[in-house]
Amino acid sequence: MANVTVIGAQWGDEGKGKIVDWLASRADAVVRFQGGHNAGHTLVVGEQVYKLSLLPSGIVTGTLSIIGNGVVLDPWALKAEIEKLTAQGVEINADNFAIADNCPLILPLHRDLDGLREAAAGAGKIGTTGRGIGPAYEDKVGRRAIRVCDLAHLDALDAQLDRLCAHHDALRAGFGQPPVDRAALLAELREIAPYVLQFAQPVWKRLNAVRKAGARILFEGAQGVLLDVDHGTYPFVTSSNTVSGTAASGSGLGPSATGFVLGIVKAYTTRVGSGPFPTELADEVGQRLGERGHEFGTVTGRKRRCGWFDAVLTRQSCAISGVTGIALTKLDVLDGFDKVKICIGYRLNGKVLDYFPSHAADQANVEPIYEEMDGWQGTTAGARSWADLPAQAIKYIQRVQELIETPVALVSTSPEREDTILVRDPFVD
């Protein structure tokens, strides 16, 4: 049996939550390995809708769920999310949930800095969620972060606070803000510490034990490859690596453990916030995609920008992240279109490109080259087998996998867990 790593192969919002939930019911452990509470997953199980931002999707099924060291953790957001899910009947305890004790914390000062920077950036805004993710990652690589394990040693935190506040006080002064209130910060940490520490442990050790026992591990990514800090549309990216390779470093297991890499791909393309988007449609077609797809961010509530499927970007994401197979989601949103288009290349300064360039100016200026196909009038919503799909929808799926040079493993036809066509089982591959 293989382990499975799930990543978004576009700009996030591809429908990872439903796919991870579907896979989690067959896994023995689910691990979040990067990001923070800036990305949301919506799960629909029967009549119940669960909205997750930080907790691994497996928590809803009672599967062992782990937040790895590659995540930046807002302890107060964690507590609020657990309380909300508990009120919905989800049981969360130290037996089915664990947090890496070397996981960095998102503090109030990180949220402050995030907001101050965006407010002052003017036209240079990159569209962050304002939740302190970027500043927390900066402190991690700057070696001044406070981590989960530090919550058990708050009386010995003075040296770390000196380093942390020396950095943030200077930045705050530049924005005309007072220094960090160290006493207030310590008081907040003392209050939240017992709650977080009940789940804290060296999760690398627990995961290695799970792996040695032959259990199946599902690695759950957040955002998408096009938001990766190295490989995404820089600077309009997140602050972590979202590619599949991060599953190893962000969980404490080696790269041989990551197994089948499943890339989640929406049947069209969306993006939240600023940044280049070659196939964006600012017309009634784009509006129709957004309305039919209910394209609003789970975390921010922001309306998503919509456009035709971009095979160039998706092929690039699959190559960079070593995707074994894709899960194609939201196919039903394309039901009823007379014609559908797929971007198969770009024009830039008189040249044809088969890849997305790295420079922001080039990214903003590429013009999509489209291939047009007949649409389908029948419905794909709720389909659970190829026989349930219109013939033209099958042709669309086949063309997508040809263009992105990656086979389809799953097709999702609604938010419902069981409305899934299994082409290739990631856990058995």
Give the residue ranges of the annotated binding site for GTP. Answer: 12-18, 40-42, 304, 330-332, 412-414
Rounded Cα–Cα distance for residues 3 and 256 (Å) = 10
Q: Which residues are annotated as a binding site for IMP?
A: 13-16, 38-41, 129, 143, 223, 238, 302
Helix (H) or strand (E) holding 371: strand 367-374
The token pair at 328 is 């194609």
Name the phi and psi angles at 90, rounded to 5: -85, 130
Q: Tokens 């080039």 identify what position?
A: 362
**Which tokens hold the place of 401?**
């996998």
Q: Give yes or no for a contact between 99 and 93, defined as CB atoms under 8 angstroms apart.
A: no
Q: Is 167 a catalytic residue?
A: no
Q: What is the Cα–Cα distance from 343 to 222, expressed in whole angstroms?
A: 25
User: Which is the catalytic residue, given 13, 114, 150, 310?
Assistant: 13
Q: With beta carbons less than 8 A apart as the criterion, state whether 330 and 8 touch.
A: no
Instruction: List residues forming the annotated binding site.
Output: 12-18, 38-42, 129, 143, 223, 238, 298-304, 330-332, 412-414
CA 142 – CA 139 distance, rounded (Å): 5
Which residues make Cβ contacts (< 8 Å) with residue 229, sequence separation at least 6? Answer: 237, 238, 239, 240, 241, 242
CA distances from 36 to 54, 78, 367 (A): 6, 10, 33
Active-site residue, 21 included: no
Catalytic: which of 21, 28, 41, 110?
41
CB 418 within 8 A of CB 384: yes
**Annotated binding residues for Mg(2+), as ranges?**
13, 40
Is the peptide bond prior to 75 cis by the omega test (within 30 degrees of 0)?
A: no
> Residue 193 has which token pair?
């510490």
The secondary structure of residue 178, as a DSSP letter, is P
| Residue 41 is a catalytic residue | yes
Rg of the chain over all Cα atoms, to the nearest angstrom: 22
List 37, 110, 140, 168, catalytic entry: 140
One-character DSSP codes across 115-155 = HHHHHHHGGG-----SSSHHHHHHHHHTT---BGGGGGGGG
| Catalytically annotated residues | 13, 41, 140
